[in-house]
Structure 1
Amino acid sequence: MTLTLWLTFLIAAVLISLSPGAGAVNTMSNGVRFGVKRSLPAILGLQLGYGAQIVLVGAGLGALVASSATLLTVIKWIGVAYLIWLGIQKWREPVLAVDENEEPDISPRRQFWDAALVNVTNPKATVFLIALFPQFLVAEAPHGPQLVTMGTTLILVDCLVMLGYALLASQLLRFMTTPRRQRQMNRLFGGLFVTAAVALASFKRA
């Protein structure tokens, strides 16, 4: 992959990560509640899910999933149900005392795996990667190193963008000094999770 081609891919990767989605909502929700540092497990979990999608496509299994209406539908509705569940949980989440030294009531492991499942159950990512990778693959060169380069680029860029989302969201902590404001914020993010579920439910392959 030439430098020019990689830079073009890098721009595409940045635009992909900046586009709002379930992963961004998950990151902002954690950023508001826990701050940047305590959002890191969730951000890493998102990258595990994203990496699984990349490996799936790179191994050729993504094409099988994308070509099977049944498999894609099953994965899609699992993702829809999970996002709705997250939205309900967020809506009902109790308020907390805003204290930077207070330990969160959810373990880092739970944050990690919840976030990983958000990305793993997103079939749009599979279909998108199948459409994206061929545009940048050089047919005459070995595909393995090219896929590793593109996959690494996507994950690193997404990590940086999610950190940015968490940082922006964490600034809202200073405004969450009353139970009323916390309930409003919880319901906002609960609604965003459900909105992401609706968007995923309406997704149809071209």
Structure 2
Amino acid sequence: MPFETWIAFALVWIAFAAFPGPNAVYAMAIGSRRRRVGAIAAAGGFSFAVAVYVTLVAFGLIAFLAASAAAFEVLKWIGVGYLFWLAWQAWHADTDRMNDGTMTVPEAGGIFSKAAMISLTNPKSALAYVLVYPPFLNAGPGFNTDLAILGATSVVLSFLIYTVYGAGAGYFGHFIRSHRQALIRNRCFAAVFAAGGAALAFTDNQ
């Protein structure tokens, strides 16, 4: 793969991954309460989802999802339900200002899993791969190598971007100093998750 092609893909991917959406909101919600460790766990979950999507690209299953209205609808409504569930959790979350940055393995695993599920149950994320990857891939002997390079680039950049989102929210989380401020924080994230679920409910695969 030519270096300039890789650079062009990296820039496109940064724009795609950094665009505000459910992934970024969850990274910030976790970072604002669980500091850098939580942000890293969330970023890891999103990066895992990217790896899954790249694997689906390799097997042509992303194209199937793009072409199948039924598959899109099933995945969409799973995603809608999951976002509303996250909204409920955020609404009822503890009003602690911020923990001390420590986290158990099960807690980190839970954050990782939720992050992965947010991405994997969003059909719009899946369809984005149909748009982003093909212009940078050519059918031929080097297809698998090029896909591996683009996939690894996507995973690494996604991890860095969502870590920055979470760590940035963690920094501003230090300014939350009261129960009321923490409650407002939780309510705001709950509202954003609910809005995301409502928006997803009205999308289609066109």
Considering the TM-score relative to the shorter chain, is it more than 0.5?
yes
Paired with 1:199 and 1:149, the residues of 2 have a C-alpha distance of 33
Stretches (4+) displaced over 6 A? none
Partner of residue 139, structure 2:
139
Paired with 1:98 and 1:61, the residues of 2 have a C-alpha distance of 41
The number of equivalent residue pairs is 205
Partner of residue 84, structure 2:
84
Tell me, yes or no, if structure 1 residue 61 matches structure 2 residue 28.
Answer: no
> Does the 8 Å contact 1:98/1:177 carry over to 2?
no
Partner of residue 28, structure 1:
28
Give a deviation string over 1:28-47, Cα, whole Å, max 9, x none.
00000011123222211111
* TM-score normalised by the chain length of structure 2: 0.93
Measure how far apart 1:198 and its partner are. 2.1
Equivalent position amino acid for 2:57 in 1: V
Paired with 2:177 and 2:78, the residues of 1 have a C-alpha distance of 36
Equivalent position amino acid for 1:158 in 2: S
1:167-186 paired onto structure 2 within 5 Å: 167-186=167-186
Partner of residue 193, structure 2:
193
Partner of residue 71, structure 2:
71
> Does the 8 Å contact 1:75/1:122 carry over to 2?
yes
Paired with 1:145 and 1:68, the residues of 2 have a C-alpha distance of 28
Which stretch has the larger CA shift, 56-65 or 137-146? Answer: 137-146
Give a deviation string over 1:124-165, Cα, whole Å, max 9, x none.
122111122111112344211111111111111111111111
Equivalent position amino acid for 1:25 in 2: V
Paired with 1:14 and 1:97, the residues of 2 have a C-alpha distance of 31
* TM-score normalised by the chain length of structure 1: 0.93
Measure how far apart 1:103 and its partner are. 5.2
- CA 1:59/1:183 → structure 2, altered by over 3 Å: closer, same or farther? same
> Does the 8 Å contact 1:57/1:126 carry over to 2?
no
> Does the 8 Å contact 1:36/1:170 carry over to 2?
yes
Which stretch has the larger CA shift, 72-81 or 109-118? Answer: 109-118
Equivalent position amino acid for 1:37 in 2: V
Partner of residue 95, structure 1:
95
Partner SS state of residue 75, structure 2? helix
Paired with 2:166 and 2:180, the residues of 1 have a C-alpha distance of 22
Measure how far apart 1:97 and its partner are. 5.2
Partner SS state of residue 133, structure 2? helix
Partner SS state of residue 83, structure 1? helix
Paired with 1:164 and 1:158, the residues of 2 have a C-alpha distance of 10
Paired with 2:9 and 2:101, the residues of 1 have a C-alpha distance of 41
Which stretch has the larger CA shift, 148-157 or 74-83? Answer: 148-157
Unaligned runs of 5+ in 1: none
Which stretch has the larger CA shift, 90-99 or 146-155? Answer: 90-99
Equivalent position amino acid for 2:173 in 1: L
Partner of residue 155, structure 1:
155
Q: Percent identity?
A: 28
